[in-house]
Structure 1
């Protein structure tokens, strides 16, 4: 089903806009609509957003719920902060795999306006000021130049939602084609597993060695890869091995027939994970 990803500061009007979109699509008889959001998880927002592990668990739960509801008939609206670009990229990979369109609705408000709306809520529904400020500071604004943030609809507090344009983006636009990193394929041979293990291990050692003479911002290239890893910070071997294990697990479920693409796929995975 087409996916609408809501995005914005805490208390920026996302839930209200999600309900408006739900009403529009249901009243026009176009599609059945499912809203997936933090409210359905019955968790305390201050407890969740003060603990990075709990926050990761909530994001994973929301993504899993979206994935369960994805089909080509109904519409899903993900009503959450969705403030991390890497998470929005994961959602983009999900809809590519499901071969269904998506769009992003960005509720753009000022820090002051959202803070005012937060303090006007019932005490049980408020973010603490420390948590609110931290979330605003960590917020990674969407950029329509990124394919995972496009089509992007930026909505100010007094705007009327462009319902027809959003509908066209979801129902008249072709789904993004699946690529080698998202298209499920049968595991063709043991050679794939051998190359996967060998190439990723060699790349890990190359990254570790390159850091000895590199500074943040340097690019690391590899034989067989056209893309490069950008070093934004120092990465220890334990973290590199963890990322390698995650990539191998994912690749076993989504293997590529072309083992020559493994190096580029691993570079792309590392760049997304390390930024």
Structure 2
């Protein structure tokens, strides 16, 4: 007889992985980038401080076409190596053990606390996005409609925002705050990735 009537299983791909998985679908079944970004921004992760969200199992999803090694280093870069869905570890034995026997879980990949970001991440995120907003405000003064505005610090091919009309500081700051809140749940490992992500976010939302 079951001693616990339920558990919570959270699948946590990065935003980049979500877009990658979406691209694997037949073209007619894909979501737009805008919809995926909005869903990610609005999603609220389960929190084990609430008893109704316990026990919580977290299934990490990435792009790797292989299973995750049993022993991994506690390193932020490991996010890039999580297995694709068909190779994911769903902790089925532990879930059955908990549901059927009520056995207390020991700390492992599914239950341990993983650092969300380097200590300077939030500062870097705030500074980089502010710099992009400043560049756009200055560049649009002399830009013509349809021109691509180049953003310093972004990688080639991901460094341009299309200028469609004049944008106000409050409008750009509103989008910046949305991106910052979304990025806190899915930290990026370096400055260039932050800027690339913000440029992509702006191109999806500046219409």
Give the TM-score normalised by the residue count of structure 2: 0.47
**Alignment TM-score, normalising by the size of structure 1:** 0.37
